[in-house]
């Protein structure tokens, strides 16, 4: 019987050795998964990704720190302190309860609101879990439901069964306290009952209409569940899916190191299976390249088809070679972000421009088409002008008028701590932004909803005239449409209107931009971010809440070295901002035109707004408060 001899090319052996060496640090890096489990109180198996703060740094994930206090396992989540009741590693959920809720004391309630709104896409925790997934579909299950506390002006008679009276457990200082535990529509919310607190619960107990507040308090004691599986799926440099049968996570890494590992496995298979597989690999590579090329060509054809169908657009189309000449080979870089990079350029006429080179497109080039379709059809003093664009294969660029004073965030949140804008300049910028949004909503032949109003997207020209920019998330709709249906929330956490998360408080409309403007206006007036991690007192952490409390108590806002006129202007800006950030869209001003009139009018004509449903501090707890700069609890200097 003759023997078959398989000859292996030397270069394959060299590559295999190198790849095996590359695997060593990968394995070493993953040793944190095999640390000895920790324990605290009733939680006996604290293991990856969780860790106690005293565990070695290589154990667990630092984003999932737990502490052991008085033999109780504690999770510090945003501003709240929560006791860990259980950790389920099979379905990747953790059950926690607010530390301020006590058994046998039905008047004890959480001090801070916590709702779905607080959990952004980048958070390690989620209020959803994945019930099953494959390459094509992902099924998400909501783990926790809201419990809503509200205070009504008078005792309600014959109210809906949705409202449960909290007396005698909770006695409001003024009015009467009620709680709602079911999903409700905006029409079920009473104007005389503003929302005071919203918390989470996962209790599956009685839902009988005759339930008492004691039953609801038991829900608070039971706590709520969060998932960390969503966090891993989003954060890893991998494509991950969950096996619906075993509930295990399987990931295909896209990192360079893991590509080497995958390459080593492929080569091992090649060496084992012989010549047939070796010959088949090039075919697979060619097929993958062909598919990728086809996908990119499909995206380019979508963009090209869009440009052909909108041949009446005002901007000029430039070639990529023109773009390189304008930027002198991309020498003067102004900035960069997730969208790509921005370069300073110069037209033949001598006019300076800002050229945004777009990176990888999302949704088949939708961001590029959104900007061209929106800014390309309008011209307003407070909206950045789109001069031209480039769409040449994978090269996509947008050419804007140049804004020498950059974006607004650099002036109200300066790194050096020196505020360059005067109070009057800040007011004029605010008024200009409001006018620009009003024009987008009702000044064109079609309504344009921006969905991403924030300081970074407000640009300032040489005279500090504000210009609204970045229309990548914008949506067009007819002027007579009162609401818009969206499949997912869009915008930046901290500026997104609550109706984009809570569908039952009202439809999505132009008032979503109004809410974002209110949060922006609050930051312009205060010269600080609305969430401040270094505030010495909890009442100062969330700026809108502190401002409302000052106004409702009849206190004047303290501003360093401010004249009487500047204090009046600032108060007016803050009052208007509070009206714009009301939770329910129906409680906000009717339109941005009304907001403009409020800013242009006298502060005495602005009524005190209701207390908006203010979201809690979206930040981790600061461990060492002694190192923080202390400020007075009765005053908060602006611009610090």
- Greatest Cα pair distance, the chain, in angstroms, is 105
CA distances from 590 to 387, 400, 514, 537, 586 (A): 33, 32, 10, 35, 8
Question: Does the annotation mark 452 as catalytic?
Answer: yes
Secondary structure class of 259 (helix, strand, coil): helix
Catalytic residue among 123, 367, 438, 452: 452
Rg (CA), the chain: 28
Which letter, b or e, does each residue of 57-77 get, where b requires 16 or more Cβ atoms within 10 Å of its Cβ?
eebbbeebbbbbeeeebbbbb
How far from chain centre, in Å, is Cα 7?
Answer: 56
Q: How far apart are CA 367 and CA 299, in angstroms?
A: 12
Pairing of strands 340-346, 43-46: unpaired
Which of 18, 75, 21 lies closest to 46, judged by CA? 75
Contacts of 415 by beta carbon, 8 Å cutoff, 6+ apart: none
Identify the H or E element spanning 217: helix 213-222
Which residue intervals of 463-620 are DSSP H helices?
A: 511-526, 538-541, 543-552, 564-580, 592-600
CA atoms within 13 A on the CB side of 156: 23
Q: How far apart are CA 65 and CA 621, in angstroms?
A: 11
Which of 451, 458, 448, 472 lies closest to 340, judged by CA? 472
Residue 390 tokens, joined: 């480039």
CA atoms within 13 A on the CB side of 389: 23
Which of 494, 516, 487 lies closest to 585, judged by CA? 516
Q: How far apart are CA 72 and CA 255, in angstroms?
A: 38
Q: How far apart are CA 564 and CA 571, in angstroms?
A: 11
Angle between helices 10-29 and 256-273 (to 10 degrees): 140
Which of 323, 322, 344 lies closest to 333, judged by CA? 344
Secondary structure class of 34 (helix, strand, coil): helix
Q: How far apart are CA 624 and CA 13, in angstroms?
A: 54
Give me the phi and psi of 543, to 5 degrees please.
-55, -45
Q: How far apart are CA 610 and CA 571, in angstroms?
A: 16
Q: How many other C-beta atoms can be found within 10 angstroms of the C-beta atom of residue 172?
A: 15
Identify the H or E element spanning 149: strand 145-152
What residues does 546 pair with on adjacent strands? none
Q: How far apart are CA 301 and CA 294, in angstroms?
A: 10
Q: How far apart are CA 603 and CA 572, in angstroms?
A: 5
DSSP state of 115: -
Catalytic positions are 452
């Amino acid at each position: 019987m003759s023997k078959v001899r398989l000859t292996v090319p030397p270069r394959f052996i060299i590559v295999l050795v190198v790849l095996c060496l590359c695997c060593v640090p990968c394995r070493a890096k993953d040793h944190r998964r095999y640390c000895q489990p920790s324990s605290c109180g009733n939680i006996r198996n604290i293991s990856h990704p969780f860790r106690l703060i005293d565990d070695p740094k290589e154990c667990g994930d630092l984003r999932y720190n737990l502490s052991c206090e008085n033999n109780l396992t504690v999770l510090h989540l945003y501003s709240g302190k929560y006791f860990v009741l259980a950790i389920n590693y099979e379905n990747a959920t953790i059950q926690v309860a607010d530390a301020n809720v006590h058994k046998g004391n039905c008047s004890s309630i959480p001090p801070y609101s916590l709702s779905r709104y607080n959990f952004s896409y980048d958070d390690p925790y989620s209020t959803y879990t994945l019930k099953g997934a494959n390459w094509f579909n992902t099924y998400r299950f909501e783990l926790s439901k809201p419990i809503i506390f509200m205070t009504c002006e008078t005792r309600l008679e014959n109210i809906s069964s949705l409202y449960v009276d909290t007396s005698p457990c909770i006695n409001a200082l003024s009015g009467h306290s009620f709680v709602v535990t079911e999903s409700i529509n905006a029409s079920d919310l009473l104007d005389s009952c503003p929302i005071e607190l919203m918390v989470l619960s996962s209790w599956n107990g009685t839902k009988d209409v005759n339930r008492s507040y004691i039953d609801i308090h038991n829900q608070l004691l039971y706590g709520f569940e969060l998932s960390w599986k969503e966090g891993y799926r989003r954060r890893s440099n991998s494509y991950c899916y969950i096996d619906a049968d075993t509930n295990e996570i399987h990931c295909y890494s896209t990192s360079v190191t893991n590509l080497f590992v995958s390459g080593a496995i492929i080569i091992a298979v090649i060496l084992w299976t012989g010549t047939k597989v070796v010959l088949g690999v090039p075919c697979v590579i060619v097929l993958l390249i062909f598919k990728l090329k086809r996908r990119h060509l499909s995206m380019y054809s979508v963009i090209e088809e869009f440009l052909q169908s909108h041949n009446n657009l005002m901007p000029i189309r430039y070639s990529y070679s023109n773009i390189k000449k304008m930027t002198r080979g991309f020498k003067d870089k102004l900035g960069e972000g997730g969208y790509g990079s921005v370069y300073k350029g110069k037209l033949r006429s001598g006019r300076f421009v800002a050229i945004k080179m777009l990176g990888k497109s999302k949704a088949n080039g939708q961001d590029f088409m959104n900007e061209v379709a929106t800014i390309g059809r309008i011209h307003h003093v407070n909206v950045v002008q789109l001069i031209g664009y480039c769409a040449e294969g994978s090269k996509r660029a947008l050419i804007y008028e140049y804004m020498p004073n950059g974006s607004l965030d650099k002036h109200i949140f300066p790194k050096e701590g020196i505020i360059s804008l005067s109070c009057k300049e800040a007011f004029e910028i605010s008024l200009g932004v409001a006018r620009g949004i009003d024009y987008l909503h009702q000044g064109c032949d079609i309504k344009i909803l921006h969905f991403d109003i924030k300081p970074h997207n407000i640009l300032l020209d040489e005279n500090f005239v504000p210009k609204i920019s970045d229309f990548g998330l914008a949506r067009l709709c007819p002027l007579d449409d009162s609401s818009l249906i969206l499949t997912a929330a869009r915008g930046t956490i901290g500026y997104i209107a609550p109706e984009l998360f809570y569908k039952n408080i009202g439809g999505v409309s132009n008032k979503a931009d109004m809410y974002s403007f209110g949060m922006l206006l609050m930051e312009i007036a205060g010269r600080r971010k609305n969430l401040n991690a270094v505030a010495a007192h909890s009442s100062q952490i969330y700026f809108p809440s502190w401002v409302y409390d000052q106004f409702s108590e009849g206190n004047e806002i303290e501003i360093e070295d401010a004249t009487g006129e500047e204090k009046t202007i600032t108060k007016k800006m803050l009052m208007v901002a509070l009206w714009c950030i009301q939770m329910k869209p129906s409680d906000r001003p009717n339109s941005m035109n009304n907001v403009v009139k409020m800013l242009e009018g006298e502060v005495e004509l602005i009524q005190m707004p209701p207390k908006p449903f203010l979201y809690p501090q979206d930040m981790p707890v600061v461990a060492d408060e002694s190192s923080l700069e202390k400020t007075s609890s009765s005053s908060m200097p602006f611009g610090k």
